[in-house]
Amino acid sequence: MPSGVAVVPGWASEHDNLFTVMKVPMTPKDPKARRNVLRWLGPLAVVQTMLGSPLATASEPPRVVASILPIHALAAMVLGDASQPALLVPPLASPHAFALRPSDASALAGADLVVWIGPTFEVFLDGVLDEIAPDARHLVLLDAPGVVQLQVRRGGVWDEHMHDEHDLEHADEHAEDDHAEESDVHDDHESAIDGHIWLDPHNAQAIVRAIAAEVIAMDPDRARTYRANADAAIVALEDLDAEIAATLTAVVDRPFFVMHDAYQYVEARYGLNVAGSITVHPEQPPSAQRLIEIRERIGALDRPCVMAEPQFPDRAVAVVVEDTDARTGRMDPLGSGPPGAGAYGIMMRALAASLSGCLSENVTD
Ligand SMILES: [Zn+2]
């Protein structure tokens, strides 16, 4: 392995190589910028500094900060050897309940480019990004060209109280009494776009293109590299899409429940049969009433799967499957690491394998 490089599990692993080698970015000579990079990369940059690193090109690789692991992975695929993006929400944390830490603020303060879904998804960045990362460009992926958008789901099983038509008179009472606060949350989401856009590999391709366009504009000296990396990523994502479709094809009709409604894009892409989510607002624990209603729904179906998520406590799943013939599994819409260019493929394959595993058991049982 060449000196001064860090090895991370890479996308290329499916094409014979076990690892993609990613170089640590060059350390600038200016003391202030140097401090920023050292803070950015920690021990890796120290190694690089000791080895010395003359600048080979005029423009610097941009320092990229990505909000969540799968977006970080897509950014890492584009940047390749040029630099490593920083990650805000660590594996196993939920972006729906995340709060910025001092180390995140430092990373953002030194950023050239912040890549995130948008203010309705990473609410912890909403309204503070201009202040914390004033010098950075902000790439809002919900608005990126080619990203297919789906509305946040409302009505029926996706609503707090699953009102049927004849329940509407009760809905008014709810809104006026002790549920006033919940109604506010509802209103925020009414017209919102579902932010879990990365779970469709075709959206991931559009995200790769959008990140590539940004870094090419910021670092034109490496344009050919970024373009080649993006092209390779788009081909790999196409292969991944076909692989996921093949994994899921036998189970597309089987019903399953999820912890929170993160999977609409997977569902739309592969024609899956999601029957409902345990939580309506992932930033709040489900109410006892909600758990009872979901358990009734589960009981009415023939051996559905109920999928837990590592970002949420398992207790709710245990409660809703009690005294039903449902099976349980676990899937992770974010991936649990390690961060790097390979994390997106690892996350999607694991998600499809978990789902297929749980639902196949039901088919053959
Ligand atoms: Zn989510």
Does residue 67 lie within any of the structural domains? yes
Do 256 and 289 have their domain in common?
yes
Tens of pLDDT, residues 152-203? 988 777 877 665 444 444 444 444 344 444 444 444 444 689 999 999 999 9
pLDDT score recorded for residue 211:
98
State the CATH number of the domain containing residue 347.
3.40.50.1980
Does residue 82 lie within any of the structural domains? yes
CA of 97 to the centre of ligand 1 (A): 10
Mark the ranges of the chain whose per-residue pLDDT is less than 50. Answer: 1-30, 33-56, 164-190, 365
User: What's the rounded Cα separation, in Å, for the pair 337 and 176?
Assistant: 44
CA of 213 to the centre of ligand 1 (A): 27
Do 215 and 125 have their domain in common?
yes
> Which residue range forms the structural domain that includes residue 320?
247-364
Do 258 and 351 have their domain in common?
yes
CA of 282 to the centre of ligand 1 (A): 7
Does residue 310 lie within any of the structural domains? yes
CA of 293 to the centre of ligand 1 (A): 21
Do 227 and 307 have their domain in common?
no
Tens of pLDDT, residues 53-99? 444 457 899 999 999 999 999 999 999 999 999 999 998 899 999 99
CA of 263 to the centre of ligand 1 (A): 8
CA of 261 to the centre of ligand 1 (A): 7
Do 297 and 213 have their domain in common?
no
CA of 161 to the centre of ligand 1 (A): 20
CA of 20 to the centre of ligand 1 (A): 29
Residue type at position 201: P
How many domains does the chain contain in total? Answer: 2
CA of 277 to the centre of ligand 1 (A): 11
pLDDT score recorded for residue 158:
80
CA of 194 to the centre of ligand 1 (A): 9
Do 101 and 140 have their domain in common?
yes
Do 296 and 200 have their domain in common?
no
